[in-house]
Structure 1
Amino acid sequence: MDYKDTLLMPKTAFPMRGNLPNKEPKRQEYWDDTNLYEKVQERTKGRPLFILHDGPPYANGDLHIGHALNKILKDFITRYRSMSGYHAPYIPGWDTHGLPIETALTKNKKIKRKEMSIAEFRQKCAEYALGQIDSQRKQFKQLGVRGDWDNPYVTLTKDYEAAQIKVFGEMAKKGYIYKGLKPVYWSPSSESALAEAEIEYKDKRSPSIYVAFEVTDGKGLLDGGEKFIIWTTTPWTIPANLGISLHPELQYVVVKAHGEKYILAEELLASVTEELGWDSPEVVKTFTGKEADKVVARHPFYDRDSLVMLGEHVTTDAGTGCVHTAPGHGEDDFAVSRSYGIEPLSPVDDKGVFTAEAPGFEGLFYDTANKNITEKLEEVEALLKLSFITHSYPHDWRTKKPTIFRATSQWFASIKDFRQDILDEINRINWYPSWGETRLYNMVRDREDWCISRQRAWGVPIPVFYGEDQTPILTDETISHVSDLFREHGSNIWFEREAKDLLPEGFTSEHSPNGEFTKEMDIMDVWFDSGSSHEAVLTQREDHRRPADVYLEGSDQYRGWFNSSLSTAVAVTGKAPYENIISHGFALDGEGRKMSKSIGNVIVPSKVQKQLGADILRLWVSSVDYQADVRISDDILKQTSEAYRKIRNTFRFMLGNLADFDPARDRVPEAEMEEVDRYMLHRLQQVVKDVRANYEKYEYSPIFHQIHNFCTVDLSSFYLDFAKDVLYIEAKDNHRRRSIQTGYYEILTALVKLLTPIIPHTADELWEHIPGAEEESVQLTDMPEPRQVQQMDELEGKWDHFMQVRDDVLKALEEARNKKVIGKSLEAKVTIVPRDKETKAVLESLSYLQQLLIVSEANVTDSSPEAQAYRYVDVAVEKHPGEKCERCWVASDTVGEDSDHPGLCSRCAAVVKENYAN
């Protein structure tokens, strides 16, 4: 007889290799064909709603690893919620307006913008954006992200634009929208105003100059001829200088140096003396800033005054304490000048080129003009020092080129009018991580009015008309009419029709006695677009509501979507559009560097999916602390693949040993299960409890580590290992065997469900092989609930203690193996001497101690002279003197006792005779 045929070896069609790149697309196709998303929604209908509102990615270009991190995290949340008592629909969205699409058309697609009308160009933009959505949607689905992909929200659709106009109108109705002349971030490269959210800071090399302004009218305080010293890193703003700002409470001094009298803050005298190389300057006069109010100096090279003004914004952190003031190019400059009745001067055009208002520099690009202006200052002997510094400077986040501050007439949303309401809501919301609250709070607290107008073509028009006297017309009637027009025709109608044809029929206004109207040609900031999604999506979709439960985006969105959504929602409703904010960090390479094509360290999601599989990428997402910056590289993904392999093989082993198990027929009642099996179920319950708690807290790396450790330590290194001697060797219906199988079944089913949000492709594949699984997909089931395993109160301590004792024995076996006393542990005979009564009681109560320790014989005695001391027990290890059983490989003194089966131990001989006699 071939004894191999009498062993109940594992059998399963679940393969060892995942082959994910080939299998996942087929499974995704199956999910689509069977309408799995709709089936999940139907199953959970009627449950409490849970809404994760998708922050719309920009519809341009292939997905990068940040996209994958973001969407996979969202998928974890919605999948978990739909399996834990909620109805959790997921509506993906796309942001579609803005400069990148205009640039893609004009540069990459070679569209000749000036050869077509605005409406025609906008139509090209829309077509391009929709094509990009199709491409990105396919890539998101390849990551296994489940959602209503056939019905996303898109910011260019008619209904969305109509809802956005409604938000704008409500804010205007409350007086929050106004047009004004103010310095704003201006991008010469984009030829448009920018919001703070569109600014990023990068290092820039700039000239650093000290300039003298001569006093012409000292107002009785100064004699005249003294010179105020200003310091600036933007020489190009000198032609726009209209004043010098002093702090009213600071002490200023007049000092003699190099034959001149100079004025600066007393506190900065030492640093300026060093900078300008003065030799023992003499202080001849001291006064406070407020005493010098309205003193008049002369512009260095123009025949005009430069008025001394008082401003609290002046500091002594750097410079001279005398601040060059160009109200057309700075917020503080603008504010202090306005309080003195001085209008801003901004002599640069949309492209950053000087106009005729800057004589001598007309036609020069502002940055180029730095040199010319510096030379002019030197020519008139006003330049005291020129050097260069590298400092952090605002750049256009899209073109990556420097911005300037420029006073232009723009549309603004007045944040200050409801700022406190926003701050109160920030305090009420839950933040993950907690520092997000402080970050957004400080941004809002310090924020000035929001510039919402852009000088571009591709976006939602600002729905304002102008009368014949150029008064803006913005009424409930006009807003409602425009919203209706957009809902019916789309916003392109604004550029296709004349102003009079966009107004309500018969509309009249005192500002247009002749019935002539014009329309605003600026568009809205794209952050106003996406920031209106709480109105356009949450209140418009049947299965949604405002506020959403969760907004989850990258940490850059504190200044972006988190911010604009909060501002528009509080403005319109008085409440935040979300209850919880979760932010994630950026994806860096394995060394913590930013990904760059030039460095060659970019990890592309589609490439990972094709080489390793989406589930590997998803498992990586679950393994990192996503609330900080995360690292990813080929080596890191290799480690993730290895962890996946261990988890997969653990599940495969359990499946293989359930080949002859029918839960309806073979399941052992919990009260009748063996102690060790109940103990493992108890360990499982702790995993279930901890995993679910972490899902609730949106913390996934603990889930990864808990399940990975349970699979590799509790299961593979213990439960699955020792159980082979029962599962393979005993008769099919042996009670101990069926008890272990019941344990495997319970553990496998629970773990597969717990991992479904993270690796859904693998979870569904596993589900197909689990005996007795009735649902077509594990996604149509609920998460396991942690429970109390029967009769575990008194057994938990016993088995916890045994596991500690087992560690001692394993150390002894390892040492014996290193000394060549034994090879495999089944060759060993161990003698164990308990070091305390508790340990003795535990060991003596275990009927199958040798199986639990995977040795051929284990004896518990009161003493053994050969034993080595460990923490709980003394252990002696020797090679077992008995013969090795041909069937179970256990060394036993009983091998040869049965004449029919001389190569078997008595246990195996009995099993074979009873079950394989024929």
Structure 2
Amino acid sequence: MANDYKDTLFLPKTDFPMRANLSQREPEFLKFWYDMDLYGELKKKNKDKPSFILHDGPPYANASIHIGTATNKILKDFVVKYKWQRGYFAPYVPGYDTHGLPIELKVLKEQNLDKDEINPVELRKKCAAYARSFADVQTEQFKRLGVIGDWGHPYMTLIPAYEATQLEGFAKMVDKGYVYKGRKAIYWCTDCQTALAAAEIEYGDETSPSIFVAYKYLEAAKVFPELEGKDVDVIIWTTTPWTLPASMAVAVHPRYEYGFYQVGDKVYLIACGLKAEVERATQLPFGEPILICRGERLEKTLALHPFYDRKVPFVLADYVTLDAGTGCVHTAPGHGTEDYETGVKYGIDIYNPVDETGHYYKDTPIFGGMSLAEGEKKVFELLNESKLLLGKLKITHSYPHCWRCKKPVIFRATDQWFVSVADFRDKALECIDEVKWVPDWGKDRITNMVRDRSDWCISRQ
């Protein structure tokens, strides 16, 4: 086909060598292709040949294309053109994603709108108009790149027929019981003020405080009579001090050894395997333990919150490690996935004192109305006053960020809608096995994503 069509379809006749004046000549090539309807001619020539269909994930229609978008489209265009020339019927129908926060955020910012004041229907109309305008802009830009396709009839996710098909698919999921509403600790972006799915999270290094805090162990003597009359504290560890107002439990590993260490007139409880770490962080001289037990013996006994009149139980959790900290982990079911699962297991309140903007709710004792940064400062102030802050370090670790605004996210328990991946995981994994993946590692990536995920957060604010 390439030889048959070289002079009549793909290139206009020219006396100029291809390597010269391309910036001037390329528009002429493109005009030639569109004037003679190259895409239509290709469809006519190969209409009865075997089909090759490229399913192309649509770009967001909220800005001009960038180098990543261009590279994506050009590489896919190579494939489609190659298939045409190999004799396949290879129609390419481009599309545009016209829904979602990226478009809404652009409209709010560029038109200087307050999302809390504008009528939602009016905002959606503005978003639709904005998306359509940039779909037109991107179409011309993709055509300028030489991408061949049915540019006169792209699909758009705001088209009613497209939305109806989505709703039909969603209805089937509801009928099968895959969709449910639940209160869970999910990724939350306080800048975009919305929930995020796991696939919308990017990881980057963040520096966080690593703090060691004393909780009074109220029931030490109840479990260990030999500690009768002693002042016993458990040293907890956290890298998110702002979550301490929501501290509802202390997690320990059931099989680790925990030691009670006499330091002056105090007795401190930590994991034996982290003694050196705690000594370094607190500058306290830990000697030999006066008593050792496994974590499982601590289960359901009570400690006291450092600045609230709140009793917090010891709970068992296999995710507690000896990599860092004290082996006694502050647990806030409203602010962490594993914490949430532990809270459900033990029937602990899934308490979240933080609103969608990243401020404590006004009725939160001590912290009401404060931002998280202000709350963290207040936490340190209270702990220093009570002399319960035993150590403070800085650590750099990989932390989740929002893929849109690139800012760190938090975990926040809210009412959301979920799809239960667990209900169809086995079938999905079977389907993955039936697909040929290029490159091969793509199969491992999607397999791990499906196998390790119990549910998928589908609601957005």
- Give the TM-score category using the shorter length: over 0.9
Aligned-partner Cα distance in 2 for 1:85–1:35: 18
Aligned twin of 2:259: 253
Counterpart of 1:398, as a letter, is R
Aligned twin of 2:388: 382
1:154, distance to aligned residue in structure 2 (A): 1.0
Q: Find the residue that maps to 1:441 and give its secondary structure.
A: helix
Q: TM-score w.r.t. structure 2 length?
A: 0.93
Aligned twin of 1:123: 125
Aligned twin of 1:37: 39
Aligned-partner Cα distance in 2 for 1:18–1:116: 54
Aligned positions of 1:340-739 closer than 5 A: 340-455=346-461
1:357, distance to aligned residue in structure 2 (A): 4.8
Q: TM-score w.r.t. structure 1 length?
A: 0.47
Aligned-partner Cα distance in 2 for 1:333–1:356: 24
Aligned positions of 1:205-220 closer than 5 A: 205-218=207-220, 219-220=222-223
Aligned twin of 1:674: none
Q: Is the 8 A contact 1:273 1:281 kept in 2?
A: no
Aligned-partner Cα distance in 1 for 2:272–2:367: 35
Deviations 1:723-742 (A, max 9, x none): xxxxxxxxxxxxxxxxxxxx
Aligned twin of 1:27: 29
Q: Is the 8 A contact 2:281 2:393 kept in 1?
A: no
Aligned-partner Cα distance in 2 for 1:445–1:256: 46
Aligned twin of 1:14: 15
Answer with 1 or 2: which has the greater Rg. 1
Aligned-partner Cα distance in 1 for 2:396–2:206: 5
1:400, distance to aligned residue in structure 2 (A): 1.7
Change (3 A) 1:321 1:114: closer
1:33, distance to aligned residue in structure 2 (A): 2.3
Deviations 1:197-244 (A, max 9, x none): 211122222222111111112342364742111111110000000100
Change (3 A) 1:13 1:147: closer
Q: Find the residue that maps to 1:125 and give its secondary structure.
A: helix
Counterpart of 1:221, as a letter, is F
**Are positions 1:302 and 2:303 aligned together?**
no
Change (3 A) 1:115 1:409: closer
**Are positions 1:231 and 2:237 aligned together?**
yes
Aligned-partner Cα distance in 1 for 2:224–2:184: 33
Aligned twin of 1:288: 294
Counterpart of 2:15, as a letter, is F
Counterpart of 1:131, as a letter, is S
Counterpart of 1:243, as a letter, is A
1:38, distance to aligned residue in structure 2 (A): 1.3
Deviations 1:438-483 (A, max 9, x none): 222222222231110011xxxxxxxxxxxxxxxxxxxxxxxxxxxx
Q: Is the 8 A contact 1:258 1:278 kept in 2?
A: no
**Are positions 1:221 and 2:227 aligned together?**
no
Aligned twin of 1:323: 329
Q: Which one of the candidate residues 191, 198, 213 is aligned to 1:189?
A: 191
1:13, distance to aligned residue in structure 2 (A): 5.7
Q: Is the 8 A contact 2:261 2:286 kept in 1?
A: no
Q: Is the 8 A contact 1:221 1:291 kept in 2?
A: no
1:15, distance to aligned residue in structure 2 (A): 2.0
Aligned twin of 1:497: none
1:29, distance to aligned residue in structure 2 (A): 2.0
Aligned-partner Cα distance in 2 for 1:323–1:114: 38
Counterpart of 2:268, as a letter, is Y
Aligned-partner Cα distance in 2 for 1:377–1:419: 46
Bigger fraction of residues in strand: 2
Counterpart of 1:407, as a letter, is A
Deviations 1:486-522 (A, max 9, x none): xxxxxxxxxxxxxxxxxxxxxxxxxxxxxxxxxxxxx
Counterpart of 1:175, as a letter, is G
Q: Find the residue that maps to 1:362 and give its secondary structure.
A: coil
Aligned-partner Cα distance in 1 for 2:75–2:279: 57
Q: Is the 8 A contact 2:275 2:286 kept in 1?
A: no
1:278, distance to aligned residue in structure 2 (A): 2.5
Counterpart of 2:249, as a letter, is G
Aligned twin of 1:265: 271
Change (3 A) 1:137 1:252: same
1:411, distance to aligned residue in structure 2 (A): 0.1
Q: Find the residue that maps to 1:53 and give its secondary structure.
A: coil
Aligned twin of 1:60: 62
**Are positions 1:81 and 2:83 aligned together?**
yes
1:376, distance to aligned residue in structure 2 (A): 0.8
Aligned-partner Cα distance in 2 for 1:273–1:357: 38
**Are positions 1:333 and 2:339 aligned together?**
yes
**Are positions 1:51 and 2:57 aligned together?**
no
1:91, distance to aligned residue in structure 2 (A): 0.9
1:192, distance to aligned residue in structure 2 (A): 0.9
Aligned-partner Cα distance in 1 for 2:113–2:32: 40
Deviations 1:42-75 (A, max 9, x none): 2111212111101111112221111111111111
Aligned-partner Cα distance in 2 for 1:111–1:241: 38
Counterpart of 2:89, as a letter, is H
Aligned-partner Cα distance in 2 for 1:141–1:364: 51
Unpaired runs of 5+ in structure 2? Answer: 1-12
Aligned-partner Cα distance in 2 for 1:280–1:208: 20
Q: Find the residue that maps to 1:46 and give its secondary structure.
A: coil
Q: Is the 8 A contact 1:240 1:358 kept in 2?
A: no
Q: Find the residue that maps to 2:50 and give its secondary structure.
A: coil
Aligned-partner Cα distance in 2 for 1:13–1:130: 37
Deviations 1:71-90 (A, max 9, x none): 11111111111121311110
Aligned-partner Cα distance in 2 for 1:306–1:357: 21
Aligned-partner Cα distance in 2 for 1:387–1:315: 18
Question: RMSD value over aligned CA atoms?
Answer: 1.7
Aligned twin of 2:162: 160
Q: Is the 8 A contact 1:212 1:229 kept in 2?
A: yes
Aligned-partner Cα distance in 2 for 1:438–1:271: 37
Aligned-partner Cα distance in 2 for 1:416–1:258: 52
Deviations 1:598-617 (A, max 9, x none): xxxxxxxxxxxxxxxxxxxx
